Amino acid sequence: MRLKMNQEPLGVAPDVILPLSLTRWGDTIPSQYFTDYSAISEIKHTPSPFRCDADINQKIILWTGDISSLQADAVVNSTNESMTESNPISDRIFLRAGSELKEEIHLDVRECRTGEVRVTQGHALPARYIIHTVGPKYNIKYKSASENTLHICYRNVLQKANEIGLRSVAIPVINSVKRNYPPDEGAHIALRTVRRFLENHCSSLDTVIFVVDKVDLGIYEVLLPLYFPRSKLEEESARYQLPADVGGHDGEPIMPERQIRIIDNPQHALHPDEESSVELSSHLETSINVGDHVFSQMQGDLDQQRLLGERSYNDPLADIMVKEIQHQERYERLLRRAKTEDLTEVSGIGCLYQSGVDRLGRPVIVFIGKWFPFNKINLDKALLYLITLLDPIVKGDYVIIYFHTLTSSNNYPSFSWLKEVYNVLPYKYKKNLKAFYVIHPTFWTKMMTWWFTTFMAPAIKQKVHSLQGVEYLYAVMSPDQLEIPAFITEYDMTINGIRYFQPVTR
């Protein structure tokens, strides 16, 4: 909520955002929809590692907006080591802070190493201070090192705020997609680090504002209840949904079975009476902290395995090749069936079809959730029709658009069927899929998408984008290339208004 001109305190600019005007996480209403995870997943934590704590929840704010307008004690700037990186957050901070900020950095600060923090005055910002930090580059081969460094970034920001006596701090997403860091994995580290810090230093900070853009908002909306549950139901649900590795005492990466904690102070290893020691390989290629997550047990060609969503233990490369050959043989048998069987009962439904191309000339596949009669359709034939339609397309790059508009629970496919389809489709389907857009998402779709892409289909996780309306598609494809049912455009107009050219309707 922005202050009006006739209501603003003296000396406050009209577009300044006061933290007191923002909704606290503890004041938001927990979802009333809960999946019975006991039927589809094993419990990972007993008891819950993150208890429902009303006091901590009142310190948390999830907000999407311009960080440079916040009148917090400090705002965080994620930058590079020379402190010259151009990104939307840094650009806004430097623009509003004025030339004095660049001068202070040039004369007094000069550089900031990865994982460290530097503090400058806020200058023309509403915030008193700016805490600068440099996030890590991500490489799956050095996953543990990347996780540890990102944890150190968030922890050092909070410790520095505590050291200089600040009560409120606004933190953007430090893990940059520009540096290849997976957004969801970074969010897990950010949330658990902040949670543990507030537990361990309960009186140090009054307000922590997670400042996210629209892309990361959906991720944080799904993950926040896991680390900051607002009810006993959310706390119970989190025991199934949280990853097996939730970090150590401070949220730092840890491998419990080997009792190895990654620390940034090597002197800790000299004191055997303290909690644990450090065991680092010379090249950091061994898994220092990997826990039980699906990515953690991967060996061999890790990038290839991550795309395939496979795990291997004894002879990783051989296992992958064998499994891929088996998958390909099964797929070819299904493709032969698809070309001979009568699939008109599925094709006639019209829930899956090709609709033009995007602005890069890539074919666009449209899926209408409301028209998919999961409980009535022959699922074997549905899979065969999917293969028939997509096989000639997926030889090159392609895009999928899923419309969740007015879709009911009767149309939701089961996890087991989705997993079966994902496992049947060969590598080219995952590799050549360049984007998967979910239009008119609900909390259910965000939660289920996160669950499915985290535990069943990691290859497409970073390709999924949730969009609130049809108009947002026009940045990636021309309206005359999109053919969709009339009920979708009618619904879209009721919630978003008429602000775009109407696509062709079916």
* 298-312 residue pLDDT tens: 344 444 444 444 444
Residue 265 lies in a domain: no
Ramachandran area for residue 220 (φ above 0: left; ψ -120 to 50: alpha; else beta): alpha
59-84: burial string, b at 16+ Cβ within 10 Å, e else: bbbbbeeebbbbbbbbbbbbbbeebe
Residue 216 lies in a domain: yes
**Residues 354 and 471 both lie in one domain:** yes
What CATH number is associated with residue 66? 3.40.220.10
- pLDDT attached to residue 153: 95
Measured CA to CA, the distance from residue 430 to residue 426 in angstroms comes to 8
**Residues 334 and 236 both lie in one domain:** no
Among 201, 223, 241, where does a domain finish? 241
- pLDDT attached to residue 307: 43
**Residues 337 and 237 both lie in one domain:** no
What CATH number is associated with residue 371? 3.40.525.10
- pLDDT attached to residue 226: 93
Ramachandran angles phi, psi of 94, nearest 5°: -70, -35
End-to-end CA distance of the chain: 40
Ramachandran area for residue 497 (φ above 0: left; ψ -120 to 50: alpha; else beta): left
**Residues 60 and 170 both lie in one domain:** yes
**Residues 336 and 236 both lie in one domain:** no
What residues contact 326, with CB distance under 8 A and at least 6 apart?
none
56 contacts 195 by C-beta, under 8 angstroms: yes
- pLDDT attached to residue 70: 96
**Residues 210 and 359 both lie in one domain:** no
**Residues 113 and 231 both lie in one domain:** yes
**pTM of the model as a whole:** 0.57
Range of the domain at 356: 330-505
Residue 130 lies in a domain: yes
Residue 282 lies in a domain: no
- pLDDT attached to residue 476: 85
pLDDT, tens digit, for every residue of 133-158?
999 988 877 888 899 999 999 999 99
Angle between helices 379-390 and 316-340 (to 10 degrees): 100
Among 241, 262, 296, where does a domain finish? 241
Residue 486 lies in a domain: yes
What is the rounded radius of gyration, in angstroms, for the C-alpha atoms of the chain?
A: 25
- SS3 of residue 297 by DSSP: coil
**Residues 345 and 213 both lie in one domain:** no
Residue 307 lies in a domain: no
Residue 494 lies in a domain: yes
Ramachandran angles phi, psi of 337, nearest 5°: -60, -45
**Residues 223 and 343 both lie in one domain:** no
**Residues 229 and 344 both lie in one domain:** no
Low-confidence residues in the chain, pLDDT < 70: 1-14, 32-41, 255-324, 327, 455-456, 498-506
**Residues 226 and 347 both lie in one domain:** no
**Residues 373 and 227 both lie in one domain:** no
Q: How many domains does the chain have?
A: 2
Residue 363 lies in a domain: yes
Among 209, 241, 273, where does a domain finish? 241
182 contacts 461 by C-beta, under 8 angstroms: yes
